[in-house]
Every structure is written in C-alpha cells, then in structure tokens.
Chain A
C-alpha cells in the first residue's frame, strides 16, 4: 500500500462521496482522484522522475491535498513547508532537499516569485526565467485524468518533513509510504473512523498532525472540512455545527483559544463524536475544562513525533476521565514504547529515562544527515528526546524534554535558528533565545541581546530585520537588551540564569 493508494481505493469504492469541503466548495473522491492524477501526469511530463523531491508551499486547500497525492502518484517525494515561509527559508529547503520542482499557492507565489527550482507549478502568476520552467495551474486541466502507470515500492520515500533540530538548521525527516500507511491505519483503528466521519481541519497539512487528519479520513472514506481561519474561532465553531462535523483536532493553544476567547463553551455541536489533542503537553487545568465542556464526548490525548510519522501513543478517553489525567497513554497498535537509560537498558516502573519507540512508523532517518540519524535511531529504536516514566499499568508520563527546543503553538522551533538570525543582522554582539511560557501557544520565544555598540542600536531595526527573515511564529515576543550575557564557567551563555532573570523581570527594552 502506498499513501496515494488510500485515495485511489476510496475513489474506486465511492467516487461520488464528498472528500473535502472548503468554504462553499466541495470535491468528491472521484474528482480529487482525477485532479491528483492530472497533477501526477503533469509532473511526470515535466521531467520529474520517481524519487525526485517536490517542494510544496501552500495553505490547506483542495488543491494542496491534490498536489500531495499527485506528487506521490508520480513516485516523487513531497516536501511540504510552512505556507508563510520567507524567501531565504524556502531557499534553504530547496537546496537542502534538492527539490527539482516547487508547487506554490497564489499567496506563496507572490512572496516566493524568485524561488530557485527547475520546475515551478504555480496558482499565482510568476515570471518564467531562462533557468526554470513555469507552469500555470490551469495547465493541469489539459492532462488526462487517469492515474499514470508509475509505481514505487512501499519502502520508497514518500515525504521529507522538516523539523527543527538542536543544531539549529531544520532537519528533513524521511518517511516512507509504509511509515505513513501503517501509522494512518493505526489512527483510523483507535479512533474508530468510518466513512461517516467528517473532521474539521484547522491544523496545517504540512504539519504531521494536520496531515494525519487528511490521510486518515481519506483512508476511511470520510470527509475533511478545511478552515484556515482559526483566527476567527467563532466562525470555525459555527461551521462545525453547519457542516455537521464528527471530529475535531487541536494543539494546546487551539483549546486555550476555544475555551478562553470563543463561543465554544456555550455551544453544542450535536454531531461531534470525538476530539483529539496532540502537539505538546496541555495544562491539566485546561484539559479538565475541555473534558467538562465536552460532556461525555471523548477527548483523545495523544503523543507523537514527526520522526514517528506522527503518532506514538494515545490515552483511551475513559482512562483520561477516571485516573490517568497527565499521562500520554499507551502505544498505538503496532508500536512499542519503552523507557531506557542512555545505554539502552530498559528501566523499571516509575524510573525516569529516555522515551524510545519501535514500529513500522519510525522514520528512515534524517535526509542526508547520517550523524543526526545515528543519534536518533538506536538499535532499540527512535530516541524521541523526551524524558518520562511508565506506571505499573504501562501508562506513560512525560517529565520534560531532553533538548531545549521551543514548542510554539505545536511547532518545534530551535532557539539556535532564531539566535543565528539575530546575529546575522550584524547589530548585536551576542544573542540567546529561550522559551517564555504563554497561555495560548504553550511558549513563545524571548530574546536576550547584547548590542554591538552602546550607541546607534535600534531594537525596532533588529525586529524589522527578523520579520523579513523568519516566519512569524519564530519572531521573539519579548526582547531584553543586556549589557552582558551571564556565562557559565565554560564560557557558554547561561540560559538557566536568563530564565531566572526572565522570571524576575529584567530591564525591558
């Protein structure tokens, strides 16, 4: 089974059934199958071969879903990135993945008009230059709508998903068709998804959690409601009622917004059958409020990693309510999760150690990065970087992160990437970025900087520079200008001291 076969299979079973709904538009399985087949043919005709990487910069849409399955049907590898990526970030991804082609939405095309890929398929107008072929989106219509005869093995690479690493530069997680299909099947099974299910998707498809919403519902023959406007949660809630959704998925910040600043607490969604939460630990107090409001609609608390295709564990909703609040649950079908010491020895109940996982969903490695791959993939499985323990019943509890990665609204961001960008401005001597607790996003970046000279430093100029260089969620929310950084004896910046200072309100610029 390949990921694109999930779509073909559902399209063969019930071509007329609704696959996706977006605003006033909807598309059936038959239509989505046809559109993705056309995209596959267009890519193949443009010279792309199995194994070639295709960068995708699109917000969630019917077209982005079709592009994903189309890329896979062409035997190519999907490389989806944040739709607000800046030109310099996009260039890194093109270069690092060696993407031969790039697919841009209308809004992305206006920002990334200079993207350096051999073939660019764009929903917006882009100028052709000598070094690249630009294909307008309308050209898809001219293609045959039958699936091209291109097949790749199940172990072939299906996607490279970039995730921030402790070394700063984002690493490409290599996921095969088998990785994704087995994980999708496991999720369909524990959520009990059927063709009657309809999920509200506010999470982006470039993010593995968001992508599971698409793939699981396509596998089950259900439907996905796309809404990219969670900025207006009330409109999303109303659409959930109007479109009769059965499922909803969110990260902790999604639920913070729903419970604190929306009509969610006073609204009943009659068709809602289940809710899922992943993307970082949610404060138990908030989880309790969500459960209370859901009045018996099960809440699935889940845990995973990009390196695990998405999902590793889930907490059966009845146990969340009775006695396991705070646990990330038990392994999903087909996956083994263990707690080990640094040498790989399995630890006993209650002992804190590295959370490790084995299963058919574990990545093939990091793209062209054998060193990082060797650190993450041990003979005993994936070392997630999270620390935790198991209780006597085998329920897993997380205690912290081994690395210092920030988790901003469910997205992992490396502090080093932000620090590097600040330093690159040439305006500061030193920079350090740490996480600042945030009710909505779990945490947000807080930056400490030491200006290069006493005179002539303008924080606003540095902020403008960062705004042009990093995606918005990576912009520090708090800035602190220091005369000197606290240092450890080794000479490294003492981030613990900075955290302490942050708590005691240092001089704010």
Chain B
C-alpha cells in the first residue's frame, strides 16, 4: 500500500496547485492561510479521503484540528484506522 502521507500530499499538489513543484508544502503549514485550499477545496479533499481510504467523515469532523495541515490530516486518518 502506498504511503498515506505521499498519497495525500500528491492529491493536494495535483488538485490545488496544479502539480506545481515550485510551491513547497510544509507538513505543518496551514493549507488555508497559505491559500492552497479554500472552502470548496476542503470539501473536495474530504470527498477524496472518504473514497480513497474508505472512511466516513462526519460534518462535526470538518474542523481545523483534522484538516488544516498535512500533519493534522495524517493524524486524523490514523484516528480512523488509516496508516501506512
């Protein structure tokens, strides 16, 4: 199984910054404040996480603690039993 972190990072890179490799994504950097994702971006990401990792994300879980940074996303996925 491919690395979860790589999978998520690749999705964000390909979908929100059109694959640009000149834009660095730090694992602790806010994907919102940096302008990488907006409100629809978060929903696209959630849809992707749900289908790719076969999990269900409740509306209550759409919070910064779970989705603000790549590290938060990885922790959130781990709490749902998804890890590399």
Contacts and interface: CB of A to CB of B under 8 A. Distances in A.
Interface of A: 84, 107, 229-235, 253, 257, 261-263, 409, 440-441, 460, 463-464, 466-468, 472-473, 475
A261 B59 contact: yes
A27 B20 CA distance: 39
Given A107-B33, A475-B18, A234 B40 contact: no
Given A107-B33, A261-B43, A472-B38, A232 B18 contact: no
Given A261-B43, A460-B18, A232 B38 contact: no
Nearest to B58: A263
Contacts of A232: 32, 42, 62-64, 67-68
The SS class assigned to the B binding surface is loop
B62 A463 contact: no
A234 B60 contact: yes
Contacts of A263: 59-60
A107 B30 CA distance: 12
Contacts of A464: 18-20
Contact of B32 (A231, A261, A262, A440): A231
Nearest to B41: A231
Contact of A467 (B20, B33, B41): B20
B53 to A, nearest CB: 18
A2 to B, nearest CB: 33
**Residue among A231, A261, A460, A466 having the largest count of chain B Cβ atoms under 10 Å:** A231
Contacts of B20: 464, 467-468
A464 to B, nearest CB: 5
Given A262-B59, A460-B19, A253 B32 contact: no
19 contacts: A107-B33, A107-B34, A107-B35, A230-B39, A231-B32, A231-B41, A231-B42, A232-B32, A232-B63, A233-B62, A234-B59, A234-B60, A235-B64, A253-B40, A262-B59, A460-B18, A464-B20, A468-B20, A473-B38
A308 to B, nearest CB: 27
A463 B40 contact: no
Given A440-B40, A440-B43, A475-B18, A234 B62 contact: yes
Contact of A463 (B18, B32, B33): B18
Nearest to A238: B63
B66 to A, nearest CB: 9
The 6 closest A-B pairs by CB, nearest first: A467-B18, A463-B18, A231-B39, A231-B42, A230-B39, A464-B18
A467 B38 contact: no
Given A234-B60, A234-B63, 17 more contacts: A107-B33, A229-B32, A229-B64, A230-B39, A231-B42, A232-B42, A232-B63, A232-B64, A233-B39, A235-B64, A257-B40, A257-B43, A463-B18, A464-B19, A464-B20, A468-B20, A473-B38
Contacts of B35: 84, 107, 472
